[in-house]
């Protein structure tokens, strides 16, 4: 796949240089690239699903290594791997149904169990799940009694069998691509799906508190405002980049009553607040949240004053890993110049003093970790969920075999 590899290298370079802004854009472009990988992958006559899994896994490992902090990349890689497994099982079930195999062993009028064992659909599907490939037609027929076997093909049967296998390969690839298209559509429309739930959460004359600037939160508040709900928004400015100032301008442009406060004033103002609504960088398997720095302070203040703490995020931010997993980087250090002007503090950073090390150090973390016990509700594009329900969503979207994405060691 020389052409695809060029696209992969280009996308890897963008991830390394942080050229893609936002988890939604990163997730969408990752899914589009993996769709191209699946489309251009040549499939063998056997082990079609395994070939697709290996191709996606190889590319996925490169993407994850390019920017480990952006967990949305790994989430989409694992989602696509899960899609391939699910479509493979679906094709196996369809093949079994087409052969008319029995789903139980009650119909024993025509066959003796000792001489003519009946092949069940469940057994075939279980075998396919363990081998990651659909059994061939010959493999299925070998398990049936001779009376149920199809007649031997004529001399021209080889051509028809080859066409059948070619059609099976094309169908698997087509089904996987269609499922990836649905995933891309879900990513693109996640803000709209989340915003539809705003009216049920934000009520008349309430005071909402948020921190920084989240596009998901912005669209959520816009949706409630469009339904003629009158409410006020407190925005903690989100130092040191002060993205809250940008959000305040955007809300005021839509006619929302907005008050900007300093981050340190959150505890002083939280008693006036009815609900805290924030975005997230990632939602972990235990219900914990990786969010912009400062939000953990807001969550603690909300818990202290019994204020509901709501996290709005698309399901592409749901990560099947735990915070303690070695693959997870919980934080990222931003440029110190966001905090201090190097020209103004250059004399404090003289490397000639104190044994060659500067006297002044600047640490500018990008994220906070909020434990699940501080979260009241998750609002996603699939609805509202409690932190304890995250395990169920993970089971729906991911396979346990894909939690660690790595190349298989081939003997």
Question: Would you state the pLDDT for residue 274?
Answer: 97
Adjacent-strand bridge partners of 122? none
Which parts of the chain have pLDDT scores under 50? 102-103, 105, 107-108, 110-119, 133-134, 137, 140, 144-151, 153-155, 409-411
Answer for the pair 401, 393: CB distance below 8 angstroms, yes or no.
no
Phi-psi region of 357 (alpha: psi -120 to 50; beta: other; left: phi over 0): beta
Structure tokens at 207: 């005071």
d(CA 181, CA 35): 8
d(CA 381, CA 318): 11
> pLDDT tens-digit profile of 375-398?
999 999 999 999 999 999 999 999
**Bridge-based pairing state of the strands 309-312 and 289-292:** unpaired
d(CA 221, CA 339): 30
Question: Would you state the pLDDT for residue 118?
Answer: 46
* pTM, 2 dp: 0.82
Question: Would you state the pLDDT for residue 160?
Answer: 56
Secondary structure of residue 153 in the 3-state scheme? coil
Strands (E) located in 135-228: 207-211
d(CA 396, CA 10): 32
Question: Would you state the pLDDT for residue 8?
Answer: 96
d(CA 365, CA 370): 15
Question: Would you state the pLDDT for residue 69?
Answer: 93
Question: Would you state the pLDDT for residue 116?
Answer: 45
Strands (E) located in 160-247: 207-211, 232-236
Adjacent-strand bridge partners of 120? 102
DSSP 333: B
H-state helical runs in 196-344: 198-201, 215-226, 243-253, 266-269, 295-304
Structure tokens at 337: 């110049």
Answer for the pair 301, 266: CB distance below 8 angstroms, yes or no.
yes
């Amino acid at each position: 796949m020389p052409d695809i590899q060029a696209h992969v290298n280009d996308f890897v370079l963008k991830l390394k240089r942080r050229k893609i802004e936002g988890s939604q854009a990163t997730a969408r472009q990752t899914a589009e690239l993996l769709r191209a990988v699946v489309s251009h992958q040549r499939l063998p006559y056997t082990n079609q699903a395994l070939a697709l899994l290996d191709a996606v896994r190889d590319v996925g490992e490169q993407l994850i290594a390019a920017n480990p902090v952006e967990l949305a990349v790994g989430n989409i890689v694992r989602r696509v791997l899960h899609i391939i497994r699910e479509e493979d099982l679906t094709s196996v079930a369809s093949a079994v149904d087409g052969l008319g195999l029995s789903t139980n062993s009650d119909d024993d009028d025509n066959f003796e169990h000792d001489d003519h064992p009946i092949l069940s659909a469940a057994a075939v599907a279980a075998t396919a799940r363990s081998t990651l490939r659909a059994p061939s037609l010959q493999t299925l027929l070998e398990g049936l009694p001779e009376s149920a076997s199809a007649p031997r093909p004529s001399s021209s049967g080889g051509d028809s069998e080859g066409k059948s296998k070619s059609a099976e390969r094309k169908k698997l690839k087509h089904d996987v691509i269609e499922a990836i298209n649905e995933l891309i559509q879900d990513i693109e429309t996640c803000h709209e799906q989340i915003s539809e739930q705003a009216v049920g959460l934000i009520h008349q004359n309430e005071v909402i508190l948020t921190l920084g600037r989240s596009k998901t939160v912005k669209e959520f508040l816009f949706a409630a405002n469009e339904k003629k709900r009158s409410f006020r928004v407190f925005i903690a400015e989100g130092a040191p980049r002060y993205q809250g100032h940008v959000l305040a301008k955007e809300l005021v442009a839509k006619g929302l009553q907005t008050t900007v406060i300093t981050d340190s004033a959150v505890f002083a103002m939280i008693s006036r607040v009815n609900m805290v609504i924030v975005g997230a960088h990632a939602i972990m398997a235990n219900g914990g949240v990786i969010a912009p720095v400062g939000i953990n302070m807001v969550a603690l203040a909300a818990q202290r004053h019994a204020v509901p703490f709501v996290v709005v995020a698309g399901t592409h931010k749901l990560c099947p890993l735990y915070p303690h997993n070695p693959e997870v980087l919980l934080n990222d250090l931003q440029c110190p110049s966001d905090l201090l002007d190097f020209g103004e503090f250059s004399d404090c950073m003289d490397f000639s003093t104190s044994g060659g090390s500067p006297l002044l150090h600047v640490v500018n973390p990008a994220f906070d970790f909020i434990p699940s016990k501080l979260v009241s509700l998750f609002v996603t594009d699939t609805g509202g969920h409690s932190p304890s329900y995250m395990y169920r969503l993970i089971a729906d979207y991911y396979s346990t075999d894909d939690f660690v994405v790595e190349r298989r060691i081939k003997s």
